Structure 1
Amino acid sequence: MSETNTPASTFTSITATGNDSVTLADKIKKYKTKEFIDFLRKEENLKLSETIIKILEKEEVNGHDFFKTNKEDFCSIGLALGPATRLADFAKECKEKKLRAFFLYKSLKEVLAIYGISSDGMETIPLFSPQTHEVQDSNKYFKHCIENILFRMKNYGSLVLDNLEFMRNEYVLTILHTALHIAGDVVSKEFNMRPEYEIIGDKSCE
């Protein structure tokens, strides 16, 4: 007989629109002029000179204005064709670039406020006591998990400290999927895993 822990309550990721359609443009539109100018300064790929930055600052362009402005508008306020084109293209890219749920928020305080917690630190997040549930040896998911692990061990052998990480991960994934199915039955909910991939290196900036 085995035991597994399940949380007393479950949470669903929340986006501002209720789906995954939040874009970088939605975030930038909230910027006031100073915030928007600071944002552009950090975008090294735009290669904007301080002269260009000063013009945008003088015209008091904010995040909302940026997406109402086209290449011709940028040229009309004194920008050269090059930076005007780059800014217009960048605006289009921002409208297409999707953000993950909490990227829209500027601080932890804003995220915590969604859950009714007035704080800007993690120390005030209340802890919960997980409920313990017995898992019978006859549970179909548990039996499948054991069979799967034994099947893999015939090829990989027992887990030891010098096993390759991907081999260890295969065992971990088997146990994780089993736990999700068992927990889903216990709380009468369906759980889904959404793997996230991170690109590291120069390609991540393109």
Structure 2
Amino acid sequence: MHNVLNYTLEAIRCEYISAILHACVHITKNLTGKYIRINSQFEIIGGESTGRVDYAIGALEELFCITEGKQFQIDIGFAQNIMQCESAYRTNKRKQKADDAFYDYIFGIVTTATEWYFLLYTPDGISCTSKNPLSIRFVESALKEGSEEEKELYKSVKRVMEVIVGLLKDRVDVEKMPVVKKQRVCSYFEE
């Protein structure tokens, strides 16, 4: 049985990604009561790299999650996402007052819609949550109600959404104090 998304256009693939991200933003808003926005094709203007990102998630003027959707070239997606996260970091830093201490981190997501990778970008380094992606198998037989494929699809989408909501919730609830942010990030690198 083949994966339906292996043969689809990038525009259709982006619809799957968009639906998952929008649902995660909505859930996070409900859990935290805080304003969060998602923008597709969002332009980030930063130091060495300027350009549009597939999806940017943030609150007010602060960006905290950048998502890059790719059809196949996942390695290129990682490189693009790291540069996009660096630009988002610089954008956040530029918006701080000159006398404010500053420490920040940005989450990155690289996905083909069927494979989901999660990154943590800080000025101290980049971390990937796992060598293996979280996977979602979109197969036609999952459309049959009650089938094992439907249950597996539900379970895998739920797992991806749990990770994204967890990252977003963590990021909107984090203290604004740079010392607390840095301690939080250090705990991620220790895990």
Structure number with greater CO (CA < 8 Å, separation at least 6) is: 1
> Same fold, TM exceeding 0.5?
no
- TM category (shorter chain) comes to under 0.3
Whose Rg is larger? 1
Greater strand fraction, Structure 1 or Structure 2: 2
Structure with the bigger percentage of helix: 1
Instruction: Using structure 1 for the length normalisation, give the TM-score.
Output: 0.26
